[in-house]
Structure 1
């Protein structure tokens, strides 16, 4: 019965203004903006756009960093981001000699830095402008996070000055794919739990990329791979945190061992926080989603359907979690207005396709949000064979008067439709079992009549009831009823 589902759950996003505020407050972009304003005609820049060594300490001091190796490294990182995001523009020197870093007389020649066009956009542009600059910064940070670590750079340089990347044992595409996979899993967990959910332990995130789904007890080799992946991720999240996409509690340095020593297994210590904890920020949700959309991944956001028709709304939220579906409906009603909304929703809920029961379920939830204004439209469909049962339930829940009693045919049709919706939604099995047993228990001889119901999902629903019912006799009756339904040709597979 299942139809195609979105690859990712719908993400709750902050407004562009809120996201832009967070982007401007991200430590790396904030430093990049400050260092871009600091730069001027006297700023010496090398051929690759890097700050001259003699100026790194001054740049670090301007940023309020200590002028040690760490401070100058942070200043250099901020400068690179300023260049990569167009906050600074480099004017190359006119070089006459053979060496691009020296003039004809062997003197060093430096480029100069000027403010880039994007610097003014950080304060004078729209939120969309700020976010576009920040996304460029995220791309640069992502590239830094997947770059190789040079332990001895001299060993990689050949006689002709070229770099032997094969000696690094580094595949940039593989590294980028690994990090994107990790960020995708973190996105799934964060969006599924909500932005206020708990942080994810680094060992669990690493294991999600290494341990096969069908593996029981991980082998020593797999555990070693997980440990190696954790260390890679620890380095990468330290690089990514300053751009603002994650909140990261790093691995306890006491757990890091020298080569040849035996590392402590995460299972040996109950305090999992020592092994790293990471949470995707609201800005991170926005940024990772933007990268996924760029890569062609279907990654919906709550609010995507606010300007669509009722048919697109009910179809689009078919597999949304309950909270996300409710939020999407509320946004749709706010944009659409309540006038005529109920009739439009009811019309979109009709149908005999596999998703129709789910549309009717979400229609009922949407009508609850419309409120009393929906009553005339609901009463208008009391005689409709597909919507009459839904209408009676909605009216009864509101305590409305003069609600006609449903026919037995309508009662059974609504029971089949309700279970079909829950089966299509892949709801909680315990809740589904309770629904199955509750509905069959309300009507004596339920299965003797249910197989006659003229609903396209009748046979499928009865088969499922046979699997789910805890009473063996009832389960057997359900399976017999499913066979009868198929024999009479009353179900569409």
Structure 2
């Protein structure tokens, strides 16, 4: 995949590697795994054929972790032990003299501290801690995306032996309706959407949690569906419950802050009559349906996964040392908050605000398809340059491509003696602005209002706009024909688009 073809995510702001490493070491599952590895390093611990703790060892390990009285303590201890084995914090040595056995509580080897524990015990760099945590997170992600046999089988009759355990020989694995790739894609999609929520919603970026129904709906409900059907709502409900199970597994890794679905809701749903399904009251506590957000550590982990998958997932500040052309090209796809932070860092890395402003204006020129977007973000970037940018903007007042935006900037900043634009520049700037909006934002309702305002403000708008020597004039006029609510005006726009294409072919 070439660099130009890589999908691009909005930029993310992350704490320092040292802060993230501290978060990783404090994550419950990881901290427990390290504690158990240190325990085993003091004296090798007997283990079973799969490296699992035996009954006595499991109880002793749970006691060491302070979980012995917790109803879920045994399971949490086993999960931490397994993570320590999977990540190399523990090393399992099989006893060559041990006889093969089917007994689940008979030792066939010992476990002691592994190479990764030795790294943590020494002077370890934050990046090494994060690498180790990332490997553990990947293991837990794989576990979360793998349903239990009970979930897959449903009815366990005929597959459970006298000892209460599932008999593997009685299970037809080929007949199970389970697609591992689909399960993985489902969880990846949820976490990817949660990453986007965090970067694009200021409230979530500030620490607010995303309701689980909202996250599930973002995965299931089509963008063009005004009112979800009953079938779609049922899919959302099923997705919520799948995510609830998976997020419960992921939370101890430290990547998520999660408030699970209230288990009483399931009982309420079971008790409801067919035509009396429970629904949230107008002010019902939405947290009962589950709330989730990615932690800074989770954002780091997701970003690393995206980078490994060939997705461009930039950090805020990555562009500080880049040239103006690279900056503007990237900012076109950035959300407002991320763009502002990036521009502030870019200006801060330069000695001369005047020189920086001139570089931005030079980079904004062009007649290529991306040029209108560059000019739009250039104008937005220059709003952060302060008064030092004024000389550079006055120098381009007569420039055919930049004179319009320069006048807008100068007027907005209270500059005096700003010459009014001629009619050609007015309409060129209008077409350029609409072209930038169409390229960066699509066709939202706000653009409809902008189009209506332009047409109402300028008499004979279309008669003048089609004559503008702008490479996007025909495309802009066609879009105005699609978006203007008045049929007659929309027809005028389409006629003007035809004239523009005829006057400026190619």
Match of 1:121 in 2: 120
Match of 1:274 in 2: 288
**Is the CA contact 2:272–2:278 (under 8 Å) kept in the aligned structure 1?**
no
Structure 1 residues 75-154: aligned runs within 5 Å: 75-90=77-92, 92-96=93-97, 98-99=99-100, 108-118=107-117, 120-121=119-120, 124-151=123-150, 152=160, 154=165
Per-residue Cα deviation, 1:251-294 (whole angstroms, up to 9, x for no partner): 21123359987698563655343222222222222212222222
Shift of 1:193: 1.1
Is 1:45 aligned to residue 47 of structure 2?
yes
Structure 1 residues 24-43: aligned runs within 5 Å: 24-39=25-40, 40-43=42-45
Q: Specify which of 340, 347, 355 is matched with residue 362 of structure 2.
A: 347
Structure 1 residues 338-377: aligned runs within 5 Å: 338-339=352-353, 340-377=355-392
**Is the CA contact 2:137–2:253 (under 8 Å) kept in the aligned structure 1?**
yes
Match of 1:191 in 2: 199
**Is the CA contact 1:47–1:111 (under 8 Å) kept in the aligned structure 2?**
no
5+ residue gaps, structure 1? none
Match of 2:154 in 1: none
**Is the CA contact 2:437–2:447 (under 8 Å) kept in the aligned structure 1?**
yes
**Separation in 1, partners of 2:323, 2:46:** 58
**Separation in 1, partners of 2:489, 2:13:** 43
5+ residue gaps, structure 2? 151-159
Is 1:182 aligned to residue 190 of structure 2?
yes
**Separation in 1, partners of 2:390, 2:226:** 54
The DSSP-based 3-state class of the residue aligned with 2:258 is strand
Aligned-residue CA RMSD in angstroms? 3.3
TM-score between both structures, scaled by the size of structure 2 = 0.84
For the structure 1 residues 137 and 305, does the alpha-carbon distance in structure 2 shift closer, same or farther, using more than 3 Å as the test?
A: same
For the structure 1 residues 384 and 329, does the alpha-carbon distance in structure 2 shift closer, same or farther, using more than 3 Å as the test?
A: same
**Is the CA contact 2:483–2:490 (under 8 Å) kept in the aligned structure 1?**
yes
For the structure 1 residues 256 and 441, does the alpha-carbon distance in structure 2 shift closer, same or farther, using more than 3 Å as the test?
A: closer
Shift of 1:189: 2.4
**Separation in 1, partners of 2:28, 2:252:** 5
Per-residue Cα deviation, 1:142-176 (whole angstroms, up to 9, x for no partner): 122123324458434239xxx86446544433322
For the structure 1 residues 421 and 476, does the alpha-carbon distance in structure 2 shift closer, same or farther, using more than 3 Å as the test?
A: same
Q: How many residues align?
A: 482
TM-score between both structures, scaled by the size of structure 1 = 0.86
For the structure 1 residues 417 and 68, does the alpha-carbon distance in structure 2 shift closer, same or farther, using more than 3 Å as the test?
A: closer
The DSSP-based 3-state class of the residue aligned with 2:46 is coil
The DSSP-based 3-state class of the residue aligned with 2:53 is coil
Match of 1:10 in 2: 11
Structure 1 residues 171-250: aligned runs within 5 Å: 171-194=179-202, 195-196=205-206, 198-211=208-221, 223-250=233-260
Shift of 1:346: 1.1
For the structure 1 residues 35 and 489, does the alpha-carbon distance in structure 2 shift closer, same or farther, using more than 3 Å as the test?
A: same
